[in-house]
A and B are shown apart, each in its own frame.
Chain A
Amino acid sequence: MENQILAVCLPQQGVLPSSAFEVLSAAKNLANQSQGKVFAAVLGEKAQELAKGLTVSGVEKIFAAQHPKLTHNNDEIYAQALSKIIEGKKFGAILFPGTIFGKSLAALMSARLKAGLGVDITEIGMDGGKIQARRAAYSGNALATLSTTQETSFFIVLPMVFPQAEKTGNAAEIVPVPFEPAETKMEYVSFQPEASSEIDLGTAERIVSGGRGLGNAEGFKVIRELAETVKAAVGASRAAVDAGWIPYSHQVGLTGKTVHPKLYVACGISGQIQHLAGMSSSGTIVALNTDPECPMMKTASLSVTNDIYELIPLIVAEIKKRRGG
């Protein structure tokens, strides 16, 4: 492989989200093992300004493609800009964030540039001169080890797995990449922000979820209170969603979202295999339930058997007390 690694940093609503710094950290991991060099690509309407804020040590150069048409997530225009950055250079690995847009862009470009794609990787390094990466399959019931021998490979970095690269260095040399968009087959019509200001499940560090054990829609008031106290996103089991207590966008599990926060608090969720499939790779799992024998209580890192309506307000009060009011 070529010893140059490119970390693709994609803004969300004009700022670089945590996923960009996770991609940089994955790129640095690979560079450490391959004695390689890390480069960053920043795209957006204010790419140069964003590049200045990318003060991560160990980055050789930052390629910045700036254009008003990069304000929104138009895959076709981003693909053109990124192709322009890659053009004439040799990268052994190009790493993308595992956001919906990052995934879409990586997949589109992997076929166009004829490079194999490792999706949702959780580890990346070198083994016997080859890049090796790992990813989960079968909803976390199997780990697949991928290896590549090609000149350039694409990887999508699963969010919330790699630590965020720290902004402790000086900004690397910024190389503006002039770019004029050509006509595309996709037109960006509008962005509709999520109605609520709630934290996104997929990139949340903490999630508090409610299930059938809540008994009714009102139960989510208690869940939200705990979530707000610990700055967590609100999740739900399929049973709670099917009962109409909370919208589908909150569903965690096989037919909902797959999440891997540092802390997952399951309240009144029995832990059917379909739900476990979506969250069992979380860092610490806390289960609160009346039934000590249910699967979630067996899976949990920490479990408390108690009536949840009695317990959760006490937990909230205890946390507030520790914070001095």
Chain B
Amino acid sequence: MSLHIVVCVKSTPTTVNVSIDGTAGKIKTAGLSYAMNPFDEYAVEEAIRIKEKNPGAIVTALSLGPEHTEGTLREAVARGADKAVWLSIPECDTHNSYGTSHALAMALKKIHAENAVHLVLFGKNASDGNAGVTAAQIAGWLNWPAAISVKKIDSLNETETVVWRAVENGVDVLKLKLPACVGTIKEINDPRLPSLKGKMASKKAVIPKWTAQDIGLKAEDFSSTLEPLKIENFSAPPPRPAGLKIEGASAAEKAKKLVDILIERKLI
């Protein structure tokens, strides 16, 4: 048996500078272009590094989303993933981590049944939703252990691994029994660009498209996981009030004026 790493990626808008349709309460998606969520590049790179250190290891990229998702999966193949699976469930395109994590967990169950999975890697968070909970939520559905905010993975074998979780005031060193879900952060590695060979493979890759039915999701699953807590609408954030320019004849005068205001507003 050799290691099987799954890396979950998301296709997100290439900018976070989105505008809002206030009447509809929706993000204006017209004209947005999509690419692999930048944080996922670290997860893909980590999967490839594990593969390079463990001959025979297989990397499968998995992504849930609409049409543009296929491009992101091809990017994962270009970066070195052996296989890719596209999960297409329109009901899930709603920024609901609880519902999407359930769908991804069901897809992982199917992948795991076909070829036992050891480690599932994730980026820190998606650049659109910004939640950063999917790794731990999927682990919850599968009853696997999870660690998010991981900056180092070591001592990986087919039954366990050690992860270094960066928390507010230090690092938790944790040993996880496999299979496990691991959310990475930027410190974990320095992603490389796709190789020419990778790009060729990506063009030729046949990416299967799985539907809700393929992973055993039923209509009642949607009503129980997607409906109960949902996004009612999006609105634009209130604009910041106009700023105050602090001027003065000398730097000392400007410093004094600034300190006056900071003290007056009880900021220092």
Contacts and interface: CB of A to CB of B under 8 A. Distances in A.
Interface of A: 12-13, 17, 72-76, 99-101, 103-112, 114-120, 132, 136-150, 153, 156, 184-194, 200, 202-203, 206, 230, 248-249, 254-256, 258, 262-263, 273, 277, 280-281, 283-286, 292, 297-307, 310-311, 314-315, 317-319, 322
Contacts of A304: 245-246, 254-255, 258
A301 B243 contact: yes
B229 A104 contact: no
Interface residues of B, number: 89
Given A144-B95, A147-B232, A108 B240 contact: no
B261 A302 contact: yes
A281 B240 CA distance: 9
Residue of A148, A186, A188 with most chain B CB atoms under a 10 A cut-off: A186
B90 interface: no
A75 B243 contact: no
A102 to B, nearest CB: 10
The 10 closest A-B pairs by CB, nearest first: A111-B140, A116-B229, A107-B136, A150-B228, A107-B133, A314-B255, A185-B145, A119-B131, A185-B177, A189-B173
B230 to A, nearest CB: 7
A254 B127 contact: yes
Nearest to A231: B268
Interface in B205-254: 224-225, 227-237, 240-241, 243-247, 251-252, 254
Most buried by A among B171, B174, B180, B187: B174
16 contacts: A75-B147, A100-B149, A107-B133, A109-B140, A111-B105, A117-B98, A138-B16, A144-B231, A145-B233, A148-B229, A185-B144, A186-B174, A193-B169, A194-B169, A299-B240, A317-B255
A141 B16 contact: yes
A280 B17 CA distance: 13
B17 A273 contact: yes
B187 to A, nearest CB: 5
Contacts of A258: 130
Given A108-B137, A148-B229, A103 B18 contact: no
B130 A138 contact: yes
B198 interface: no
A87 to B, nearest CB: 17
B235 A142 contact: yes
Contact of B171 (A192, A230, A262, A307): A192
A301 B244 contact: yes
Given A300-B243, A301-B243, A304-B258, A100 B166 contact: yes
Q: Main SS of chain A's interface residues?
A: mixed
Given A111-B101, A119-B97, A138-B130, A248 B137 contact: no
A104 B147 contact: yes
A100 B136 contact: no
B232 A117 contact: no
Given A108-B140, A139-B130, A148-B229, A100 B241 contact: no
A194 B267 contact: no
Contact of B228 (A12, A72, A153, A315): A153
Nearest to B143: A112
Contact of B130 (A74, A120, A153): A120
Interface string B92-106: 000111100110010
Contact of B256 (A72, A262, A318): A318
A192 B224 contact: no
A255 B169 contact: no
A248 B187 contact: yes
A255 B175 CA distance: 27
A100 B148 contact: yes
Contacts of B141: 111-112
Contacts of B39: 255
B246 A303 contact: yes
A138 B145 contact: no
B259 A318 contact: yes
Nearest to B231: A144
Contact of A140 (B27, B225, B237, B256): B237
A263 B262 contact: yes
A313 B18 CA distance: 39
A146 B97 CA distance: 12
A119 B230 CA distance: 11
A255 B177 contact: no
Contacts of B261: 302
Contacts of A103: 132-133, 136, 148
Contact of A319 (B13, B148, B240, B259): B259
B127 A149 contact: no
Given A111-B138, A314-B251, A145 B97 contact: no
A100 B168 contact: yes
B18 A141 contact: yes
